[in-house]
Structure 1
Amino acid sequence: WIAFASLFFILVSITTFCLETHEAFNPIINRTEIDPLDNSTRVYQETETVVFLTYIEGVCVLWFTFEFIMRVTFCPSKLEFFRNTLNIIDFIAIMPFYLEVGLSGLSSKAAKDVLGFLRVVRFVRILRIFKLTRHFVGLRVLGHTLRASTNEFLLLIIFLALGVLIFATMIYYAERIGAKPNDPRASEHTHFKNIPIGFWWAVVTMTTLGYGDMYPQTWSGMLVGALCALAGVLTIAMPVPVIVNNFGMYYSLAMAKQKLPKKKNKHIPRAPLLGSPNYCKSEVTSLHHSTQDDTWPLAPQEPPEEILEINRAGRKTFCRMSWIAFASLFFILVSITTFCLETHEAFNPIINRTEIDPLDNSTRVYQETETVVFLTYIEGVCVLWFTFEFIMRVTFCPSKLEFFRNTLNIIDFIAIMPFYLEVGLSGLSSKAAKDVLGFLRVVRFVRILRIFKLTRHFVGLRVLGHTLRASTNEFLLLIIFLALGVLIFATMIYYAERIGAKPNDPRASEHTHFKNIPIGFWWAVVTMTTLGYGDMYPQTWSGMLVGALCALAGVLTIAMPVPVIVNNFGMYYSLAMAKQKLPKKKNKHIPRAPLLGSPNYCKSEVTSPHHSTQDDTWPLAPQEPPEEILEINRAGRKTFCRMSV
C-alpha cells in the first residue's frame, strides 16, 4: 500500500507540474509597486498559478517529506543513504517548495529575487519521475544499461560530434560557391552564414530529422547534404547494437531473477554480551592457525630492487607521455574551436579597403572580411605546438619513409603549411601574392583535418577507421543501391507530377517543384534517407504515390548493407575492448653485451652450440629437407611467378 501511495503521489506531482505551465492554470495578473524614492506607483504584470494546484503540490510534498524522513530514520547507514542518487533527487525536489513558501510572505527585493530564481528552478520537480525506478523493474534495467554502456554512449557522441564538425565545415564552404561578387561574406544567398550555425543543420541531417528550417540551395551543398545524411545513418547504427545487447543482457537477467524463488531470511546471530570472551572480537582480528610455515612457496615475496626501479622509471615515463598527449589533445580542440569561430560575423568583421588603379591612378573602394587579431595569435600558438610535435616525431621515428607514408602524418603537414604560407605572403602587395592569399583563405578548411589527429588518443576512432577500411565493398554497394534508387524515383516523380499540368503550360512544370529530372535527385535522396526537409514535395496524387514508394524503397535499400557494416564494427570493437582488458606485457630481461676479449664476444645464440638432452634422431627436432624436395619447391615458385606475370 505504501508503494502504491508513493506511485500515486509521484504521478499527481508530475501532472501538476505540467499543468502549471498551461495558460488556463497560469493567468496573468496586474500588480502595483510603490517606488520608495518618489512614492510613484508602477503597475506591472506577472503570472500566478491557480491556488488549487498549489494545494495539490503541497500535499504531494508533505507525503514526500514524510517518506524521506522515515527512510532516513530507519536506514542502517546514513552515509550510504545520502550517497544514493535517488535520495539526493528526493531532497533536491522537496527543498524549493519549502523555500518558496517561506519567502512568499517577504516583500524585500532580495526575497523577490530569490523567489524569481526558485520559480525558474521549478523544473527540478520533474526529477521525481526517477523515483519510479523503485517500483518498475524495466526502469532499473534501463539504469543498469546506461551505466554499463557509458563507453558506447561516449563513442556515439564522439562519432556524432566528428561528423557534425566535418559536414558543418563542408556545407559552409560548399554554399559559398554560388555567392554574388558584391557579397563580401559570400553568405547572403544561403542559410549557412558561419560554421557554428551549420552544427544544428548537421545534427538534424545526421539524425534524419529534417525540420526544414535550414537546407542547402546549391548543387555542391546538396551533394554535401546527401553525404551527411548517409554518414548519419551509418554513424548512429554502429554503436547502437552494443547498447541494445547490454539492455538485452540486463533485461534477461532481471526476468530470470524474478522467476527464481525468493531467498529465506537467514539466521542472524546475536551480538556477544558485554564482558563475554568473544566481545570486540571478530574473525579478522582473531589469530588464524595454519599448517603452513613461513617458507611456504606460494607466500607473496618482495620483488627485487631492480624490478621496482624499472617500474618506477616506467611510471615516470608514462606520466610524461600522458602530459604530452593531454597537451596535444588540448591544442587540437583549441585549434578547431578557433577555426569555427573565425567564420562567425562577430569575429570576422567587414572592413573597407582602397586600391589605386596603376593605369589611371583612380581609387577604388572595396569591402572584405578580416579575422580579429587575437584568434590569429591563438592559431599561431597552436601551429607552433603542432610544428614542434611534427619535428620531434620526424626526428625520433625509426623510419622516415614509413613516417611520411602514414596518413595522419600527411594530414599534419597539410594542416600546418597554409598558416606559414599565409604569414609569409601577408606582407607582399603584388597581385600574384594577393591571388595566392585569396586561394589560401579559401583552402583554410584543410585545418579541419586536424580532427583526425584525435584517433591517436581515442580507441573508438581507431575502431571506426578499421571498420571503414574493412567495409569498403559494403559502402560501395550502399552507394550503388542509393544511386540506382535516386535515378529511378527522380525520373518517376518528374513524369508523375506532369499529369496535373495546365493545358497552356508548354513545359508542364509551373505547378510543381520538379522542373527537370536532375533537380529531382535531391528530393529522391532526402526521401530515401527519410530526411524530408520540406523544400520539395509532390503535389499530385500520382506524385504522392511515387513519394510513398520512394520512402519505402529507401528504408529497405539502406537497411540491407548496414548490418554487414555494423557487424564489422562490433567485431573490431569487441577486439579493442578485449585488448584493453588484457594484462600489459612485462619488460623482458635484456642481457648485457659481452665484453671485448671475452669467449662469448661476437657470438650469438644462433651461432653458439646448443646442449640438449635430445639426440639427433629426436623426431621433433628440425631437420634439413632432402634435395629432391628443395628442387620441387624451387620449380613450383618459378611456375607461380610466370603465372602471376
Structure 2
Amino acid sequence: MKLREYLHHQITIGSWPDGKLTGMNVLLIWVILAAVVLGVISTEPTILREYRQEILLAEIAFGAFFLIEYLARVYAAPEMPGEGSDWAKRWRFIRSPIGLVDLAVVIVSLAPFFIANAAVLRLLRLLRVFALAKLGHFSAAMREILGALRERSYDLLVCAALAFSLLLVGASGLYWLEGHLQPDNFGSIPRALWWAVITLTTVGYGDAYPVTVAGKMVGALVAVGGVLLVALPTGIFAAAFSDAMQRRREALAKALAEIEEIG
C-alpha cells in the first residue's frame, strides 16, 4: 500500500471496509477535544495568569499538530473518490466546507503567535471552540442525519412558515392592542416580536407581558400554538435520526457480510 493511500485510510473515517475508527482517528478526536478545552479555560484570567507559559506551550503544540494534520489531508486528498487529477482533488478538498474549517482552525491556532492585540487574542481564543467542527471528519452518523434532514427539508420549511406566521400574528396583535400602553415593549411590531419569540418558545423571561384582557388572550394563543409547533419539528428530527441510524446499521452489516464472504 502506498504511503498516501495508507495515510488516507488512517485519517479518513469510513475508508476501511468495516468503517471503524482507526487509532489515528481516536487520537485526532482527543486532540480536538483537548484543544477546545484549552481554548475555553484560557479565557479565565486567573488561570491564564498562573499558567500562561504552560498554555502557550500547549497552544504551540496544538497549532503544530493541526497544521501537520491539514497538510496530511491535502497530501492524501487524491485518494478521495471523484474525478480529476491529483492537484484538482487537492484543490477540491481545500475549497470544501470541511477543508475550509480545517484551514480556519490552523490559522486560529497559530495566529496568537503573530498578533499582539489583546482584544484580537481574546477573540481567537473564543474561536477555538469551533475546532469542534473538525469532528465532522469522524462523524459518519452525523452525515447520515444531515442527509435525512435534507430529505425532510420541505416538512421543516412548513413548520418554520407556520411558526413565523404565528409570531407575526402575535406581535401584530400586541402592537395593536397594547402598543399605546407599553411603547417600550410593544410600541412596534419588531419590539413585540421579542415577546412573541420568548412566548412561543415557552421561555417566558417576564420582561414583557400583556396587561389587557385582549392582550392576554393573544398571549395564550401564541403560547398554546408554540407548544404545538415545537412538537412538530421534534417529531421530524426524531424520525430523521431513527432513519439515519437504521441506514447506518444496515450499511455496516452489509460491509461486514461482504468482508466475511471475501474471507
Please say if residues 48 and 55 of structure 2, whose CA atoms lie closer than 8 Å, have aligned partners that are also in contact.
Answer: no
Distance in 2, Cα, partners of 1:491 & 1:348: 49
Correspondence 1:424 to 2:114 = yes
Q: Distance in 1 between matches of 2:137 and 2:39?
A: 21
More helix by share: 2
Contact conserved, 2:200 with 2:226, CA < 8 A, in 1?
yes
How far has the Cα of 1:390 moved from its partner? 1.2
Structure-1 separation of matches of 2:214 and 2:52: 55
* Structure 1 residues 539 and 373: alpha-carbon distance in aligned structure 2, compared to 1, 3 A threshold: farther
Tell me the residue number matched to 1:397: 77
1:597-608 equivalence runs, <5 A: none
Other-structure match for 2:8: none
Residue 556 (structure 1) aligned to one of 213, 228, 243: 228
Q: Counterpart of 1:289?
A: none
Letter in 2 for 1:479: A
Q: Say whether 1:409 aligns with 2:99.
A: yes
SS in 1 for 2:181: coil
Consecutive unaligned residues of structure 1, counting only runs of 5 or more, are 1-316, 350-369, 427-433, 499-506, 590-645
Deviation at 1:375, TM superposition (A): 2.5
Aligned to 1:333: 33
Distance 2:53 2:212 in 1: 55
Does residue 470 of structure 1 match 2:183? no
Map of 1:491 onto structure 2:
172
- Which of 200, 209, 212 is 1:528 aligned to? 200
**1:387 aligned partner:** 67
Residue 535 (structure 1) shift: 2.8
2:154 partner letter:
N
Of 8, 26, 42, which aligns to 1:342?
A: 42
> What is the CA-CA distance between 1:417 and the residue it aligns to?
0.8
Figure out how many residues of one structure are paired with residues of the other and give that number.
234
Conserved in 1, the CA contact under 8 Å of 2:74 and 2:90? Answer: yes
- Name the structure 1 match of 2:240: 568
Equivalent residues in 2 for 1:188-587, closer than 5 Å? 322-347=22-47, 372-398=52-78, 399-426=89-116, 434=117, 438-439=119-120, 441-442=122-123, 444-497=125-178, 507-509=180-182, 513-582=185-254, 583=256, 585-586=258-259
2 CA distance for matches of 1:542 and 1:343? 48
Q: Within 1, Cα distance between the matches of 2:260 and 2:181?
A: 78
Deviations 1:251-289 (A, max 9, x none): xxxxxxxxxxxxxxxxxxxxxxxxxxxxxxxxxxxxxxx
Q: Against the structure 1 CA distance between its residues 340 and 548, is the aligned structure 2 distance closer, same or farther, given a 3 Å change threshold?
A: same
Q: Deviations over 1:598-645 (max 9, x none)?
A: xxxxxxxxxxxxxxxxxxxxxxxxxxxxxxxxxxxxxxxxxxxxxxxx
Change (3 A) 1:530 1:567: same
Query: Judging changes above 3 Å, is the alpha-carbon distance between structure 1 residues 480 and 348 closer, same or farther for their aligned structure 2 residues?
Result: farther
User: For residues 97 and 222 of structure 2, what CA distance do their matches in structure 1 show?
Assistant: 39
Closer/same/farther in 2, CA of residues 447 and 492 from structure 1, 3 Å limit: same
**Helix, strand or coil for the counterpart of 1:397?**
helix
Q: Quick one: distance in 2 between partners of 1:572 and 1:445?
A: 32
Task: Give me the whole-angstrom Cα distance separating, in 1, the residues matched to 2:52 and 2:189.
Answer: 45
Identity of aligned residues (%): 24
**Is the CA contact 1:477–1:561 (under 8 Å) kept in the aligned structure 2?**
no
Change (3 A) 1:490 1:443: farther
Q: CA 1:479–1:578 in structure 2 vs 1: closer, same or farther (change >3 Å)?
A: same
Secondary structure of the structure 1 residue equivalent to 2:242: helix
**Counterparts of residues 160-171 of structure 1 (less than 5 Å):** none
Deviation of 1:439 after TM superposition, in Å, equals 4.3
Gaps of at least 5 residues in structure 2 are 1-15, 79-88
Deviation at 1:373, TM superposition (A): 3.8
Displacement after TM superposition at 1:488 (Å): 1.4
The one-character-per-residue Cα deviations of 1:45-99 (angstroms, maximum 9, x if unpaired) are: xxxxxxxxxxxxxxxxxxxxxxxxxxxxxxxxxxxxxxxxxxxxxxxxxxxxxxx
Aligned equivalents of 1:535, 1:581: Cα separation in 2: 54
Checking the alignment, whether the CA contact within 8 Å between 2:112 and 2:124 is kept in structure 1 is no
Give the 3 Å change call, closer, same or farther, for CA 550–467 of structure 1 in structure 2. same
Instruction: For CA contacts below 8 A with separation 6 or more, give which structure has more relative contact order.
Output: 2
CA distance in 1, matches of 2:212, 2:186: 12
- 1: distance between equivalents of 2:53 and 2:151? 44
**Length-normalised TM-score, structure 2:** 0.74
Q: CA deviation at 1:440?
A: 5.8
Kindly indicate whether the alpha-carbon contact (under 8 Å) linking 1:496 and 1:542 is maintained by their aligned counterparts in 2. Answer: yes
CA distance in 1, matches of 2:98, 2:112: 23
What amino acid does structure 1 have at the position aligned with 2:22? S
Q: Kindly provide the amino acid, as one letter, of the partner of residue 42 in structure 2.
A: E
